[in-house]
Structure 1
Amino acid sequence: MSEPLRTLITPERLLHQVRAPGWVVVDCRHDLGNPDFGRAAYAKGHIPGAHFLHMDEELSGPRTGRNGRHPLPDPDALAQRLGELGIDRDTQIVAYDDGGGMYAARLWWLLNWLGHRDVAVLDGGFQAWCSAGGPLTQTPAATTATRFDAQHRPLAVDVNYVDTHKSSEDMLLIDARSPDRFRGENETIDPVGGHIPGAINRFFKDNLGHDGRFKPAEQLRREFTTLLAGRAPQQVVHQCGSGVTACHNLLAMEVAGLPGGRLYPGSWSEWCADTGRAVARGA
């Protein structure tokens, strides 16, 4: 029996495993500006046997206006949904999207949060699958429901933790948004531009090469080691706009052999919802 995959899988390998017993593929395609995009893309054509999970409806929880744009889902509700898809503790899961892994990494993190580590993101995503000659289907995947037993892991921190540690050497806060949004420029998604004081910037797309796949592990390790500047990975808290692309940096650090970072799920969209919280701008 082969070792479980816990970070990335190539499309070439998935071609040989896509119908293997005990494997489940999940389509996570999404568009922040068009919530119907993912479901329509899945209906148009998806990897055979893949199920679809919606970013807003299943991979996030209800919004209150103060808890961010993509709050964490209820863990019991997500566990029940995973069980409905035939996922149990022994399942090898593969998540994919068409956005460089930005949405698939969210499912990767959520499953780790629920204690399920045998999950990999399709490196290069939907585009790489098609380029490798992978077949597509419009047929929805058949399901045989089972039970997914969640074993919650403390992989997230809340806004109070970030607020009390933002000036402390105990935490290195890494923001995954684009450099211009980090600086407070060209903000078109959240009502306030800027970043959390003390944060540094690592654009999640910097984890990818020109081919849309993750950079080699050695290169990622060099880049993140420089960024950490002597800090331990366990001191890192990742955030972005709403707790989605921050998971991409968490995955990249795992690929680099630097595990242990945590996620601030509320991220900038939660932070800036309270006008009493400090805002930093510029590089």
Structure 2
Amino acid sequence: MTAPTVPVGAPRRPVRPALLTGVAFLVLLAVAVIAPRALTSIDPTAADPLQILQPPGAGHWLGTDQNGRDVFARIVAGARPSVLIGIFSSALALLAGTVLGVLGAKGGRVGSAIVTRLLDIVLAVPGLLLVLLAVAVLGSGTGPAVAGLALVTTPGYARLVRGEVIRLRDAEFVRAAHGLGWTRTQVVLRHVVPNAMGPVTVLATLGIGSTIAAAASLSYLGLGAQEPAAEWGLMLSVSTAYFSRAWWSAVFPGIAITATVLAITVVGHHLQLRFDGRRAS
């Protein structure tokens, strides 16, 4: 059977402006994370008493904060900790969730019961309370924030991995591997887990955005990064006291957080649609 031909002049799939905008913003964000000096040469921690709460203008595109520091430079510098917190916490949760999910699906009745009860316990506790507990035990800062956010998001990955492993354990290629004499561990590591990572990776992409927002919330509460570090949530927290006099010092970090979450969500949703389409076909 020959493949169907596409008629000449057939309409192409329309380009999605939201997707292009999201990708362009993420590229700019990657530049800010990897090479912030390419966007600005101003020291984000340099205070200038003569430039306190200056409005946006030629000298300072987004104005200055209560210490005379350039807001644009601090937003660019704040991209690295904000994004890395989201990536590291999502990666840690993905790793832990994959291990728990595989144990829940392939660990027998006892292993499945233990994993299920453990996930139920974590899900029964409000996420913010778990993060606050981790910060209380480990102390405030970036590391405890990453650990707490990973703890909160692990059950979602574990449940998805468990469901995918259960779906794939009776697949033909898995039976063929068993027929070739592969051990149970080899089949799981070489066939089941790699094929189960598709939807999990999409979920992790979407999770990075929500984790960035959650990390900013922790910094806003004073439980994440501390002064004089440049971090979006911390900038938003400190600048709210000066909002009536200098709205720009609070609005622009908030826009950075919102735009980042929206861009990651749009791109992640597109990846999910493409994966679902390939899976259906």
Same fold judged by TM-score > 0.5?
no
Superposition TM-score, scaled by structure 1 size: 0.21
* Structure ranking higher in strand proportion: 1
Instruction: Please identify the structure whose Cα radius of gyration is greater.
Output: 2
* Structure ranking higher in helix proportion: 2
